């Protein structure tokens, strides 16, 4: 969160932000006019080195406690960045197609919807994986003879085109759709 956003926020536990807000209110009470301005960076601005040196020398005289919330936020951001970098390298992972950007899965649907979505995302359904329990051969599509997998059913099997049109309003289906929230869970009734 930027400093300006922190100052605008009504709830903060950061002692430095509280101090700045207190000083701001004090200046206003004295009739001062304060204008905040966001500057994206010093790059290309004359005197950049001088400004950086002055800012650094000013901090040498300050002894501020390290705020746990700031450290936690910075560590979380760094960990998420590292995780995303590793995930970006996993383009062959079947979940990468569905969720290229890491974030929490939305689970505000009912339990049945969450179960169906999870099974579709990982590609493990009773129809496509039951054969493993009984040491049988993988099932094949009765229409085209391809091995029956979730991707086949959802994306290109002609035999279930009518159901795709009904539930997804399209004869083609992008698997990344499984990574987002569905406004109305009517699609869960999809049957093949």
Q: pLDDT over 90 for what percent of the chain?
A: 10
**Predicted model pTM:** 0.50
Q: What is the pLDDT of residues 104-126, one digit of tens each?
A: 877 666 788 788 888 888 888 88
* More confidently predicted of 166 and 57: 166
- Residue predicted with more confidence, 169 or 78: 78
Q: What is the per-residue pLDDT for 63?
A: 67
Domain boundaries, the chain: 3-58, 66-103, 105-177
CB 4 within 8 A of CB 38: yes
The string of DSSP letters for 46-99 reads TTHHHHHHHHHHHHTT---PPPHHHHHHHHHHHHHHHHHHHHHT-TTSHHHHH-
Dist. CA 125–CA 116, nearest whole Å: 9
pLDDT surpassing 70 at residue 42: no
| 24-33, 60-69, 158-167: the lowest-pLDDT one | 60-69
Work out the number of other CB atoms within 10 angstroms of the CB of residue 72. Answer: 10
Mean pLDDT computed over 59-77: 80
One DSSP character per residue, 121-144 reads HHT--HHHHHHHHTT-PPPB-TTT
Kindly report which listed range (4-8, 19-23, 25-29, 123-127) carries the lowest average pLDDT score.
4-8
- pLDDT of 183 > 50? The answer is no
Q: How far is CA 153 from CA 118, 159, 172, 180, 185, in A?
A: 16, 8, 10, 19, 19
169: left (phi over 0), alpha (psi -120 to 50) or beta: left
Phi, psi for 99 (deg, rounded to 5) = -140, 80
Is residue 80 pLDDT above 90, yes or no? yes
């Amino acid at each position: 969160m930027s400093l300006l956003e922190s100052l605008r926020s009504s709830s903060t536990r950061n002692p430095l932000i509280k101090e700045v807000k207190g000083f701001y209110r004090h200046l206003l009470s004295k009739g001062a006019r304060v204008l905040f301005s966001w500057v994206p960076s010093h790059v290309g601005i004359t005197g950049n080195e001088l400004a950086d040196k002055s800012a650094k020398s000013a901090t040498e005289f300050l002894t501020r406690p390290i705020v746990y919330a700031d450290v936690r936020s910075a560590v979380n951001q760094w960990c998420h960045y590292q995780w995303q970098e590793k995930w970006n390298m996993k383009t062959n992972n079947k979940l990468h197609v569905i969720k290229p950007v890491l974030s929490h899965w939305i689970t505000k649907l009912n339990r049945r919807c969450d179960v169906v979505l999870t099974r579709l995302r990982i590609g493990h359904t009773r129809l496509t994986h039951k054969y493993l329990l009984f040491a049988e051969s993988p099932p094949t599509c009765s229409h085209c003879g391809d091995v029956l997998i979730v991707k086949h059913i959802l994306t290109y099997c002609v035999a279930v085109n009518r159901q795709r049109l009904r539930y997804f309003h399209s004869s083609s289906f992008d698997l990344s759709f499984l990574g987002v929230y569905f406004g109305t869970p009517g699609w869960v009734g999809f049957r093949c």
